[in-house]
Structure 1
Amino acid sequence: MIDTHAHIYASEFDNDRDEVVTRALAQGVSKILLPNIDLDSIEPMLKTEASYPEICRSMMGLHPCYVDGNVEQTLAIIRSWFEKHKFIAVGEIGIDLYWDKTFRAEQEIAFITQLNWAKEMDLPVVIHTRDSIEETLTLLSQEQDGRLRGVFHCFGGSVEEAQAINKLGFHLGIGGVSTFKNGGMDKVIPNLDMNWVILETDCPYLAPVPHRGKRNEPAYTSLVAARVAELTNSSIEEIDRITTQNATALFRL
């Protein structure tokens, strides 16, 4: 299995990162993909990747919640990192209108700028959306010229939204929300095209049941796989095989 979205470089893992990686491997998770969020996360992320070179691979991008009035200067620094290091994706990027709409225009500038980097560098993009699926799909449709590929991470939308995302050539990242009793994903997952699904944890956030409310970790990718298998009447082995294949192809691992 591949955990396609994990912040194990975060301070929540500073005391037991080795054990966290060991538990992931024991559960059959062979790769852990690390999305960047802002300027402060770069150093711990790269340090984590260097500590587990066979397992961890990092991405580079500016998360919408960290976009502010200095967006152009911040983007210039983020962009410069692509000249210094090999990243597997541009991410995590996107639009978030849940917390604060103050920098909505700047979020859109950052999103479009980073989508263009992805085209230029032939890299997938990892998209964060919160209260913004329509806005994100509109911008993505305008920018999609056949060169963009990627994933809507932490997907929790409707079947129609999933189909619109797939039609644009994008995957769906399924995580802990799939196990939540009132998450609504029990109605959606059986109708998804599994060729477009990849697994993730988004740890330390959104731990799946029975760990809901506690710190999430990559080992719990297996719980997400089990839930997807249950909802699609498949075996865990089949879900592991197809989602690993999808992630390997998308990120060219």
Structure 2
Amino acid sequence: MILTDTHTHLYSEEFADDRNEMILRAIDQSVKRFFIPAIDSGYTDAMYDLEKQFPENIFLMMGLHPTYVKPDTFEAELRHVETELAKRKFYAVGEIGIDLYWDKTTLDIQKIAFKRQIQLAKKYQLPINIHCRDAFDEIFEVLETERSPELFGIFHCFTGTHEQALQAISLGMKLGIGGVVTFKNGKIDQFLHQIDLKHLVLETDAPYLAPVPFRGKRNESGYVVNVAQKLSEIYQLPVTEIARLTTENSKQVFGI
């Protein structure tokens, strides 16, 4: 069995004391593939170091996270993204998107950064990895302007409605399913059975959003097993089949 964590911040300071042990624990639990989203230029070197340590398991994205889109730095950060994409192989442009939970005043430049990075993904024929918080309407507004066969990727940490799930899928997105599916108030578990498994991938968003029974604690990539177990219940399929199908879906997106 091979499980794929399509979204994990393994470079996070939360793992400073036991990063290697945590990764090895996950590998021991059949999580063999880790896709690492970028945040901003401050984490680039740490991402490269991780890749050197685990070249068979770690696959990098490049992008500017929406909460790091600031008026005085976002142009320089976008230049960094473009420079890195031109230099070497990445597996997605991400995580990118719009976040109106922390700061609504930057909406206009968040939209600009999101759109420009979608266009970079198209230029390099890469998927995008979308971050959306309190911003479904705004995300879909930008995506609709970029709708094309070249637009594809993952709607990371999907927490929307059934209708929003269908809209995301129509725009070429897989749904990233993580710990929220195990929450009593997570809601997505109520309609996921209506979504074909071919549209889903697994993720943790470690160190955030740990699944039950670890909710409220530090999340780890190994806990993607708990997400797979929940999907096993929802779809009435063995965990091994959930692992196989969602890993195949991740290969369709990332090309590896």
For Structure 1 versus Structure 2, the TM-score category normalised by the shorter chain is: over 0.9
Instruction: Give the RMSD, CA atoms, in angstroms.
Output: 0.9
Structure 2 residue corresponding to 1:53, chosen from 41, 52, 55: 55
Alpha carbons 1:57, 1:87 under 8 Å: kept:
yes
Separation of aligned partners in 2, 1:199 and 1:186: 14
2:110 paired with 1:101: no
- 2:187 maps to 184
AA of the residue aligned to 1:85: R
AA of the residue aligned to 2:209: L
Runs of 4+ in structure 1 displaced over 4 angstroms? none
- 1:165 maps to 168
Separation of aligned partners in 2, 1:174 and 1:250: 15
2:89 paired with 1:86: yes
Structure 2 residue corresponding to 1:32, chosen from 20, 31, 34: 34
- 1:135 maps to 138
Alpha carbons 1:153, 1:173 under 8 Å: kept:
yes
1:145-156 pair list within 5 angstroms: 145-156=148-159
1:58-73 pair list within 5 angstroms: 58-69=60-71, 70-73=73-76
Alpha carbons 1:10, 1:44 under 8 Å: kept:
no
- Between stretches 170-179 and 184-193, larger displacement belongs to 184-193
1:13-24 pair list within 5 angstroms: 13-24=15-26
Offset of residue 142 of structure 1: 0.9
Separation of aligned partners in 1, 2:200 and 2:110: 26
* Change over 3 Å in CA distance of 1:145–1:186 after alignment to 2: closer
Offset of residue 186 of structure 1: 2.1
TM-superposition CA deviations, 1:132-181 (whole Å, max 9, x none): 11111121011112111101000011111111111111100000000111
AA of the residue aligned to 1:131: D
TM-superposition CA deviations, 1:201-232 (whole Å, max 9, x none): 00000000111111101100110000011012
Separation of aligned partners in 2, 1:156 and 1:104: 20
TM-score (norm 2): 0.97
- Between stretches 111-120 and 178-187, larger displacement belongs to 178-187
* Percent identity over paired residues: 46
AA of the residue aligned to 2:23: V
Q: Aligned with 1:40: secondary structure? A: helix
Offset of residue 241 of structure 1: 0.9
- 2:206 maps to 203
Offset of residue 185 of structure 1: 2.1
Aligned pairs, number: 253
Separation of aligned partners in 1, 2:194 and 2:160: 12
TM-superposition CA deviations, 1:18-70 (whole Å, max 9, x none): 11111111111110110001111111111111111000111000000000113
Alpha carbons 1:208, 1:224 under 8 Å: kept:
yes
Unaligned runs of 5+ in 2: none
Separation of aligned partners in 2, 1:208 and 1:189: 17
Separation of aligned partners in 1, 2:19 and 2:236: 34
Unaligned runs of 5+ in 1: none
Separation of aligned partners in 2, 1:134 and 1:230: 31
Q: Aligned with 2:87: secondary structure? A: coil
